[in-house]
Structure 1
Amino acid sequence: MDNTCCAAWAPRLTSLIRIGSGYMLMLHGSAKLLGIPHAPMFDGLQLFSLYGIAGLIELIAGVLLLIGLFTRPVAFIASGFGAAAYLIGHVATKGFFFIPMFNGGEAALLFSFVFFLLFLHGPGPWSIDAMRGKKD
């Protein structure tokens, strides 16, 4: 493949990764807080519980990442949140396994790395940050 093509598409793909991962993070938060999509394990969830606070972070960070607003600071926070979710929700509760496939933490760890990449790389051209003229 031609390097010119890759160079032209790389920023657009960054935007697509930001949009997709932000949407997925937002869904985790909306399932916890709004019941959409419905996940029976979150019925009766208290807002100030560990899952409630996690849902609030997921919902707010997910929406901001989806639209590309304040991408770098939000992605940095979301990256740390993903790492904490992995350590607290998967390593600490399911035994001392650092192998995500054995403790169910693939999504949390993948979110952490994707959001750290967005923190370093920026939002891409299809974002409110780019429309505001915010430099990457």
Structure 2
Amino acid sequence: MTGRLDSAQPYALGLFRIVVGLLFACHGAASLFGVLGGTPGAGDATVAAGAWPGWYAAVIQLGGGVLVLLGLATRATAVLASGSMAYAYFTVHQPGALWPMENGGEASAMFCWAFLLLAFTGSGALGLDRLLARRGTGRRETAAERTPVAV
């Protein structure tokens, strides 16, 4: 059983990246364009262009979410996205209460840790990072390179 799970790990990581990127991009689109219910707590209102920090956070969410969804520049984008969510948690949510359940910061905390994980693991399978790396070398990836080493 462990062998089958290990061989599926790059694909599970790829699907995780796609879902996290899509959800993050949806948050940015909601804040910037008022779609999908708009900015949380503000109905269908949008964030004013250039407003600090909300507009910049929304741009990072939309742009970073799309890049992570596609698996393009995943590690660098994940570091930026994780940092922006840590900033959001500690400056917006944490002053209200200690625990995320009390201060409404669950999404910020979860996105922060999800992107930190992606910064360390990379895009997994199904990402453009991997496709472009293979094209750059002009060779196909071997089965050993696709399958993570069991520790």
Tell me the TM-score normalised to structure 1 length.
0.90
Show the counterpart of 2:62.
Answer: 59
Show the counterpart of 1:36.
Answer: 35
Show the counterpart of 1:26.
Answer: 25
- Gap runs ≥5 in structure 1: none
Q: Superposition pairs for residues 1-136 of structure 1, below 5 Å?
A: 2-39=1-38, 41=42, 43-49=45-51, 50-92=53-95, 94=96, 97-133=97-133
The structure whose Rg is larger is: 2
Distance change >3 Å, CA 119–CA 89, structure 1 → 2: same
Amino acid at match of 1:102: E
Q: Deviations over 1:31-87 (max 9, x none)?
A: 011122132616252111121111111010000001000000000111111111111
Given that 2:33 and 2:46 are in contact with CA atoms closer than 8 Å, whether structure 1 keeps it comes out as: no
Q: Secondary structure of 1:79's partner?
A: helix
Identity %: 33
- Root-mean-square deviation (CA, aligned residues, Å) is 1.8
Task: Provide runs of 4+ in structure 1 moved above 4 Å.
Answer: none
**Deviation, structure 1 residue 98:** 2.6
Report how many residues are paired: 132
